[in-house]
Structure formats: C-alpha cells, structure tokens
C-alpha cells in the first residue's frame, strides 16, 4: 500500500540522519521533502475536503470567487494566480505542499534543529494531506523565530500572512507577549488543569459569545456567516464525536506530555530559550484545546498554531541521548505515531483514503468525495 511505502521511506531517512555526515544531511532532507510533496501533491480524489477545494480552484478566476467561497485573500490569490497560468489543480497542490515544507525547514534551520527528515515524517503522520490551515500553521511556525529574536515587525507580518491564508491565525497574536514566559512544572500543570476545569463549565458562556459573533458575521456575507454557523453546530468537524472515555484519555495523555516536557526542561534545557518558548506555547495551545473541547470542537484547531514546537521538543530531547538510543527512541516514537496515522486512514473517512489515487492511477474512486 502507498501509505505504508511512504512511511517506511521517510522512516529510513529519519533513522539514517544521526549517522550521516553533515555535508550529506541536506540530501536526506531534500529526499524527505520530495517524497512528501509528490505523495501529497500528485493525489487525485483522495483525502477529505477534495471536492470543495477542487471546485474552489476551478472557479478561482470568477469575479465573485472570494464572496462565494469565503476564503481569505491570500489563499484566494494563490488559487487565482496558479489557475490563470496553468489551470492545473495538481500544480496548485504541489505548490501548496512545497510552500509548507519550505516554511518548516526555514524555521527549523533558524531554530538550529537537526534531523529535518524526522520532523517531516512526524508532520506527515499527523497531517496526511494538508489543507489551507496547515499552510497558515507553517507560516506561523516561522514566526517563532521572531519571538525569540524579539522582532515584532517580522513576527506580525508572518501572522498577517498566515491570516490571509486562514483567519484563525489571528489568535496567535498574543504568543509574542506570552511566548517568553518561563513556565515551571507546577505552574504548567496548574494552568492546564484550570483549563480542563473551565472547559467543563463553559458551555453557557460560549453560547452567549457565539450569538454575539453571529450578529457581527451577519454583516460580512453569507459565506462567512454560513461557516460560523457550521463551526457552532460542529458540521465542519472532521472527526466523529469523541466518547467521554476518549476525552478522559486525551486529557490524561496531554497532562503526561506536559509533565514529561517539563521534566526534561529541568534536566537538560533549564537555560535553553528555544525549548522554554516551545514548551510555553505548547502548554497554552493544549489549554486552548481543553477550553473548547466540550463546546466547539472545531475551535480546538487553533491548538495547531501553538503546538508547532511539539515535534521540535521531541527531537531536542532525543538528541540528548547517544546515537544508538536515538535510533531506538526515534523508531519507537514513529511507531506510536504510525498507529495514530493508520487509525486515521482506516477511520471515519476510510473510503476517501483507500485506495490512494494519483494522477497516474487508472479507474475512479467509487462513492462520494467530500
């Protein structure tokens, strides 16, 4: 199966990285990006949201395109520019996936993070086929550099650029001011548990807030208002509703990660500004998730902007061990992520993932494509 082949190829490249000379590591990174971009960009009628994005691209040169589809200006311009020059949705997918990888690699380089192939692997396993928010997240990831360097202008420009792709990026603006807060394990755990507690009793508050937001969106066009209503009712939620047991496991799992990340900070990265910032933003992102998990599940997507550093922290931690242990830790972590990856493929939208169709495939996918 194509999904297993891509996973194995990326895994091999990631495991080779610690034993590869510095001069050859760029080649491993290049091959990782090439594999992912081709797999994601050359697909055809495969993955969720296919029809909506395909139809948007086809109509991107229409005068009322933005108003009809409700996309942000930057994402609309990207569609329109490619449609005018080549009118190929495949080229659009390739460009979008390549842009995501370029923003990610640029951020990793400036954060001085090694093992780019492992980061590419982990990103792929968590987001098999990227949508427009993933491009916005990649742009926001680059803005992490400017938080560290205390350069507000390039930081806010990155956030504005991300907002032009997905308006939810506006909620990352406070990160510049809170990202440099140094969280201890005690404060991180207390903030997280407070968010969990607040999330359990927040339904009434958000009902009132969303009614006010709906009134505002009434003056912004039918496309925008329809999207807000869909988010309010959960119609855009990509996953089936979680059971109480699944939610409890999710809460406990996140708490475990927070404790472990704080432990390694104290042990290895007490004076490391990069790790400290990544941890603070990660905790804030997870807290955002817990606040909205029981009320507006789709709003938990905002977590992605704050949790960009999750895989980076994992790489930093594993890199503290000797090469033999690094290989085993990278391998075990990739297996854990592969299980989640496999469950996603064979989950609620299995028929949209399997089989994998590319532009070179013969035959057509049976059933509806969304």
Query: Tens-digit pLDDT profile for the chain (370 aa)?
Result: 899 999 999 999 998 888 888 878 899 999 999 999 999 999 999 988 888 899 999 999 988 888 888 889 999 999 999 999 998 999 999 999 999 999 999 999 999 888 899 999 999 988 899 999 999 999 999 999 999 999 999 999 999 999 999 998 999 999 999 988 999 999 999 999 998 888 877 666 666 666 666 665 555 555 555 555 555 554 444 434 567 777 788 888 889 999 999 999 999 998 899 999 999 999 999 988 888 776 666 666 788 999 999 999 999 999 998 888 888 998 898 888 888 889 889 888 888 898 999 998 876 655 444 4
Cβ within 8 Å of residue 337, ≥6 positions away? 122, 125, 126
Longest CA pairwise span in the chain (Å): 60
Does residue 272 belong to any structural domain of this protein? Answer: no
Number of domains in the chain: 1
- Residue at 4 is within a domain: yes
Beta bridge partners of 273: none
Whether residue 58 lies inside any domain: the answer is yes
Kindly report each contact of residues 330-334 with a partner whose C-beta sits within 8 Å and lies 24 or more positions away, as own/partner.
330/14, 330/15, 330/18, 330/115, 330/118, 331/11, 331/15, 333/122, 334/11, 334/14, 334/118, 334/121, 334/122, 334/125
122 found inside a domain:
yes
CA distance 159 to 137: 9
Q: What pTM does this model have?
A: 0.87
- Please, are residues 48 and 70 in contact by the beta-carbon 8 Å criterion? no
Residue 217 maps to a domain? no
| 80 within domain boundaries | yes
DSSP state for residue 43 in the 8-state scheme: B
Closest of 159, 124, 140 to residue 341, by C-alpha = 124
Q: In terms of Cα–Cα distance, which of 184, 209, 196, 187 is closest to 287?
A: 196
**ω into residue 38 within 30 of 0, thus cis?**
no
Evaluate whether 329 touches 321 at the Cβ level (below 8 Å).
Answer: yes
Q: H/E element holding 216?
A: helix 203-217
**DSSP reduced 3-state for 88:** coil
Kindly state whether residue 44 falls inside one of the protein's structural domains.
yes
> What are the helix (H) ranges across 234-358?
244-268, 273-292, 303-306, 310-318, 323-345, 350-353
11-27 residues labelled b (16+ CB within 10 A) or e (exposed): bebbbbbbeeeeeebee
Cα–Cα distance, 66 to 64 (Å, whole number)? 6
* Per-residue confidence (pLDDT) for residue 24, from 0 to 100: 86
Q: Looking at 49-115, list the stretches that DSSP marks H as alpha helix, in order from N- to C-terminal side.
A: 50-58, 65-69, 73-85, 89-110
pLDDT given for residue 63 in this prediction: 85
Of 162, 130, 200, 204, the C-alpha closest to 305 is: 162
Give pLDDT, residue 368: 45
Describe the crossing of helices 89-110 and 116-126 by its angle, rounded to 10 degrees. Answer: 130
Q: Is residue 367 part of a domain?
A: yes
Residue 71's domain spans which residues?
1-130+321-370
- The dihedral of CA 226, 93, 144, 20: what is its sign? positive
Q: What is the pLDDT of residue 211?
A: 65
CA-to-CA distance for 82 and 61, rounded, in angstroms? 10
């Amino acid at each position: 199966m194509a999904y297993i082949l891509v996973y194995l190829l990326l895994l091999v490249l990631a495991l080779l990285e610690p034993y590869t000379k510095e001069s050859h590591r760029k080649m491993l990174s290049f091959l990782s990006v090439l594999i992912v971009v081709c797999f994601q960009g050359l697909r055809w009628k495969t993955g969720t949201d296919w029809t909506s994005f395909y139809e948007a691209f086809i109509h991107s040169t229409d005068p009322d395109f933005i108003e009809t589809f409700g996309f942000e200006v930057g994402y609309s311009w990207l569609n329109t520019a490619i449609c005018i020059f080549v009118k190929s949705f495949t080229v659009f997918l390739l460009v979008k996936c390549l842009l995501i990888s370029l923003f990610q690699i640029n951020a990793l380089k400036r954060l001085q993070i090694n093992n780019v192939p492992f980061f590419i692997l982990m990103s792929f396993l968590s987001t098999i086929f990227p949508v427009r928010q993933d491009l916005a997240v990649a742009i926001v990831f680059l803005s992490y550099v400017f938080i560290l360097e205390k350069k507000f202008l390039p930081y806010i420009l990155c956030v504005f650029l991300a907002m032009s792709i997905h308006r939810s990026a506006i909620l990352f603006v406070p990160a510049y001011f809170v990202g440099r807060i140094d969280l201890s394990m005690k404060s991180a755990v207390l903030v997280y548990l407070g968010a969990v507690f607040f999330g359990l009793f927040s339904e009434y508050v958000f009902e009132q807030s969303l009614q006010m937001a709906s009134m505002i969106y009434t003056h912004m066009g039918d496309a925008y208002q329809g999207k807000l209503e869909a988010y309010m009712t959960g119609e855009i939620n990509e996953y089936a509703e979680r059971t109480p047991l699944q939610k409890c496991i999710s809460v406990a799992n996140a708490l475990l990660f927070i404790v472990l990340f704080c432990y390694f900070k104290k042990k290895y990265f007490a004076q490391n500004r990069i790790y400290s910032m990544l941890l603070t933003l990660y905790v804030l992102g997870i807290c955002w998730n817990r606040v909205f998990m029981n009320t507006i599940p789709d709003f938990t997507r905002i977590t992605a902007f704050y949790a960009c550093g999750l895989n980076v922290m994992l790489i930093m931690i594993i890199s503290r061990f000797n090469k033999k242990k690094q290989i085993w830790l990278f391998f075990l972590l990739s297996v854990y992520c592969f299980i989640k990856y496999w469950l996603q493929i064979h989950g609620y939208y299995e028929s949209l993932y399997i089989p994998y169709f590319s532009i070179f495939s013969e035959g057509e996918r049976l059933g509806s494509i969304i």
